[in-house]
Structure 1
Amino acid sequence: MLPSSVSERILSRGLMDVLIRAGLVAILAISCYQVFHPFLNLMLWALILGVTFYPLHCRLRERLGLRDGHVATLIVVVSLALLMVPIYLLASSMAESVQAAIELVKEGDLRVPAPNESVASWPLIGQSLYSFWQQASSDLTSLIKELLPHLRGFGLGMLGKLAGVGAGFLLFIGALIVGGIFMAYGENGHRSAIQIAARISGPDRGPQIAQLCTATIRAVAQGVVGIAFIQMLLVGLGFVLMGIPGAGLLALLVLLLGIMQLPVLLITIPVIIFVFATEGATAGTIIFAIYSFVAGMSDNILKPLLLGRGVNVPMPVVLIGALGGMVTGGIIGLFIGPVVLAVGYMLFWHWVADQPQTLEDAEEEGRAT
């Protein structure tokens, strides 16, 4: 046997080697993260889009008989075209509206219709709203002068928000292109994901975790975007039939609120109030109000049907993960939150099911043998 001093020296040297290696690995990991951090959101969005569109990629490849790269290019080009057309139309419509408003202000023909007298009888805000509306209809120029100092800060804030939206849109376009590259190498990526998950969680749980992450991303993408699109169609149809000014822009705002997991009632309730204030309480306005309110609440019915489809965890887990991820991480958290919560939920119940053998079970097993 070695002397105690020699063994202690060997142990201390081995511990020092382990600490040095761990420190070098930590430095390497931090350095890699700092280099990769500017592209983190881009790659996360690309991964989400690639996973979401990959089933479509597989179906088109089988039906068209094209190579993976050609099918991925086709999906990216068609998606970009579908994005550019409504954005171009919206931008053109907004530019025309702004130009028309400027012309009305220059010519002095800008008029606000007088409010209905029933507005003054509304509880809490009726009288003040009626006075404000009446001043706008009678002397709009002086009202604009009074509000101009307050509107200046609001306008600067809106410009900043629009700049952020533009940067986010460019990021989305770049992520869509990178997602097309991921789809072109989808089979290799799927095998790599299973290998990574198996290396972390073991060969038994690894494939299940990879499948759960994939299914959760697709369920959230299809559920959230699909529900928001259905709500946009329902609410937008009512706005168009009722002749609401700017119905197309309001429908687009409904789509954005649905994707952001915000209540669509933020749009429908003010529109209902506007309709009652301008047209009064008629049979048509009452039917429109009921329809718009129900359409704005339709996500409460559609979420249980669509959001958790194909995921081997309860729907409330996915919904809580989507809402919590949205609050903590923004739009990207809408997808990351459910994945993290679903994986944690599955690992927790695997740990619960993997009960250690008790002393009584061991004794019974020994008697049986």
Structure 2
Amino acid sequence: MVPTSSSEKAFTRSLLDVLIRAGLIAVLVLFCFEIFSPFRDLMLWSLILAITLYPLQERLKGPLGQKDGRIATLIVLVAIVVLMVPIYLLVTSIADSVEHAMTIIRDGKFHIPPPADSVAEWPLVGKSISAVWLQASTDLPDLTAKYLPQIKHFSVGFLAKLAGVGMGFLTFIFALIIAGIFMAYGESGRRSAIQIASRVSDPGKGPKIAELCTATIRAVALGVVGIAFIQMLLVGIGFVLKGVPGAGLLALAVLLLGIMQLPATLITLPVIAYVFATEGASTVTIIFAIYVFIAGLVDNVLKPLLLGRGVDVPMPVVLIGALGGMVTSGILGLFIGPVVLAVGYQLFWQWVEDQPPNRPDVPPTL
């Protein structure tokens, strides 16, 4: 048996100590993550709101004094009041739409016209659609009974989505309140962010990394989420004043399309066509069409003003972040996803471009 030297014993003991400490730290981190994970999206959204609204708090310090807590409370209260308007309109629109649909069904006024002969000539699916459409126009109860399981499944899924939207709005309100607390301690929070960034990288790069993350969050939050919210308000006001059925849901769809970087004309043009088809051409409908069409294009004017400030984030990054966030975290992830992915994208390219000097094997950055 080969004797073990004292140095080998010391190395083995030291390695065992390191592994035990690393294991204990890993267990502690795992428990901390499990405890914090239910509040992850809420805290992320609160941090995003606080960073986005903090410049407004700085501007209000002069007219309203130097009390950060008082100014942050005022901003949160005004924001909640502003948010209550579209939420109220959305809930009212959904309730009115459901009541209107139930009234039509109860009075027996609901009737589906038969399909045109050209429907059957559509490629691949024309005959199937024409047959189902014809049965719906002649014998709707039997058709409903035939597809009752699918209708129930769709209804349950739709109600679950609406519940998710409502929960998302409620979480947003709580996130706004927590953001107000963050803003009340904004200066100490800024110093803490620089300290964390300096500890992760090095003291020389910490302030630059913190500034990059802050600029990215503000640019995406204002240039993507903010513009989509403004566009939703403008289009939704037109829908509500005109009395378009389901105005709240249509306005919410405009918000979702705006965050996913899709044109709002996918909603506004069909609505304009519906208004002209049901009410005809008049002064009111023409004014409505012009207003809604312009409101649907307002993002093309606001994006260069808001998104162009600070950092340049490619639109595919925003789209992937919105879709991925919605899949992983629901309606709230639709807002958080673009911001988080944009920050990660900027930090990655900052790391790529930050090459050590005097390395001949690394080509210069163009």
TM-score by length of 2: 0.78
Partner SS, residue 357 of structure 2 = coil
Partner SS, residue 153 of structure 1 = helix
Cα distance, 1:204 vs. partner?
Answer: 1.4
Cα distance, 1:6 vs. partner?
Answer: 2.3
Q: 1:276 to 1:135 in 2, by over 3 A?
A: farther
Q: What does the per-residue CA deviation read over 1:48-87, in whole Å, with 9 as the maximum and x for residues that have no partner?
A: 1111111111112222115111111111112112222331
Partner SS, residue 5 of structure 2 = helix
Mean Cα deviation higher: 238-247 or 163-172: 238-247
Cα distance, 1:244 vs. partner?
Answer: 4.8
Q: How does 1:347-362 map to 2 (within 5 A)?
A: 347-351=351-355, 354-357=356-359
Output the amino acid matched with 1:49: L
Alignment partner, residue 342 of structure 2: 338
1:12 equivalent to 2:1? Answer no
* Number of positions where the alignment pairs a residue of Structure 1 with one of Structure 2: 349
Find 2:317's aligned residue among 294, 318, 321.
Answer: 321
Q: What does the per-residue CA deviation read over 1:220-252, in whole Å, with 9 as the maximum and x for residues that have no partner?
A: 110012332454366557767987544454233
1:102 equivalent to 2:102? Answer yes
Q: Relative CO higher for 1 or 2, CA cutoff 8 Å, sep ≥ 6?
A: 2
Q: 1:4 to 1:249 in 2, by over 3 A?
A: closer
The RMSD of aligned alpha carbons is 4.0
Q: What percentage of aligned pairs have identical amino acids?
A: 57
Q: 1:295 to 1:61 in 2, by over 3 A?
A: closer
Cα distance, 1:94 vs. partner?
Answer: 2.5
Partner SS, residue 204 of structure 1 = coil
How far apart, CA to CA, are the structure 1 residues paired with 2:83 and 2:242? 27
Report the structure number with the largest CA radius of gyration.
1
| Structure 2 unmatched ranges of 5 or more | 327-333, 362-366
How far apart, CA to CA, are the structure 2 residues paired with 1:201 and 1:349? 15
Cα distance, 1:177 vs. partner?
Answer: 1.2
Alignment partner, residue 49 of structure 1: 49
Mean Cα deviation higher: 45-54 or 222-231: 222-231
Asked whether the 8 Å contact 1:194–1:207 carries over to 2, the reply is yes
How far apart, CA to CA, are the structure 2 residues paired with 1:149 and 1:16? 60
Output the amino acid matched with 2:318: A
Asked whether the 8 Å contact 2:115–2:133 carries over to 1, the reply is no
Cα distance, 1:320 vs. partner?
Answer: 3.4
Asked whether the 8 Å contact 2:97–2:246 carries over to 1, the reply is no
How far apart, CA to CA, are the structure 2 residues paired with 1:272 and 1:133? 25
Q: How does 1:23-38 map to 2 (within 5 A)?
A: 23-38=23-38
Alignment partner, residue 161 of structure 1: 161
Alignment partner, residue 365 of structure 1: none
Q: 1:104 to 1:41 in 2, by over 3 A?
A: same
Asked whether the 8 Å contact 2:61–2:71 carries over to 1, the reply is yes
